[in-house]
A = this chain, B = another copy of it.
Amino acid sequence: MKMYSEQESDLVLQKNDEKVNIAILCEYDGTDYLGWQSQKNNKTIQEKIQNAIFAITNEKVTLYGSSRTDAGVHAKGHVSNFISGCKIPVNKIPLALNSNLPDSISVKKAVIVPLDFNSRFQAKGKTYSYSIYNSPIRPAIDRFRKHHIPQILDASLMREASDKICGEHDFSSFMASNSEVKSTVRNIYSIEIIDKRPDITIYVRGNGFLYNMVRIIAGTLCYAGLGKIEPGQIDDIIKSGDRRLSGKTLPANGLCLEEVYYDSDIFNIAR
């Protein structure tokens, strides 16, 4: 997949009368939205950004999203793309869109990508975080971004359990019941648990995720951390394919899409 530098992107936009494919990197606070994907007459992030694109280009585009985050889920690195005849230099697009977006959504970068690029189908992997506030007392300032668990979590048991989840497995038992999907096999590359009490943050990196999968993984790790299941049971839970054996689906507020990976570093983010 050929990528353009920011300067080349500008040239593409200025020289070419044809349409171009623009990828954008977004941060959003999902608290007040019904999720990413447009729904009739409902407040979604896709809708808000499409409206902002219309405001600056006069084009009614479809914005293709890498992840259809649920209501209340946040993103620090959501990627999406749209086809446009827009003549605005690509490096001006973030500020132009941001001045037409609510404060809870911010476009951080925009780049020109090949016409056949699709932010969802070409994604090679994603990192999600799940944030827990582990204290007998509930949080106030971070109430929309951390899930409160009052009982003490044992982080070493959580890590033991997370080691068993990593790898390529059929994750049927970590998928919301009644989801329809071609394959339930996914590869979890790594799970990292950062323990800075009262904050415990779980970072899950994988090639893809089933519906509610990160929230169920987080719930299962918390069951391990509370002693409700033993880390050794994880193998059997995976083998069973039985959703009833894994932990509960933790609420949306703790979940955040951190990053989406492609063959090349399309936004030039140093890692």
Contacts and interface: CB of A to CB of B under 8 A. Distances in A.
A2 to B, nearest CB: 26
A143 B102 CA distance: 11
Interface stretch (A80-88, A104-112, A161-169): A104-112
Nearest to A135: B108
B74 A104 contact: no
Q: Could you say how many copies of this chain the assembly holds?
A: 2
Interface in A178-208: none
Contacts of A107: 137
Q: Categorize the interface residue count of chain A.
A: 20 to 34
Contact of A106 (B28, B76, B94, B139): B139
A269 B137 CA distance: 15
A121 to B, nearest CB: 26
A29 B145 contact: no
A141 interface: yes
Nearest to A150: B95
B29 A106 contact: no
B29 A143 contact: yes
A270 interface: no
Contact of A140 (B29, B95, B137): B29
A76 B135 CA distance: 14
A74 B139 CA distance: 13
Contacts of A27: 139-141
Interface string A214-247: 0000000000000000000000000000000000
A143 B98 contact: no
Nearest to A91: B136
A3 to B, nearest CB: 21
B145 A76 contact: no
A60 interface: no
- Of listed A28, A76, A141, residue having the most chain B CB within 10 A: A141
B103 A138 contact: yes
Contact of A138 (B74, B98, B136, B140): B98
B104 A143 contact: yes
Contacts of A145: 141
9 contacts: A28-B141, A29-B140, A29-B141, A29-B143, A74-B141, A95-B137, A103-B143, A104-B143, A107-B137
Interface of A: 27-29, 74, 76, 94-95, 98, 103-108, 136-141, 143, 145
Given A106-B138, A141-B145, 6 more contacts: A98-B137, A98-B138, A103-B140, A105-B140, A106-B139, A108-B137
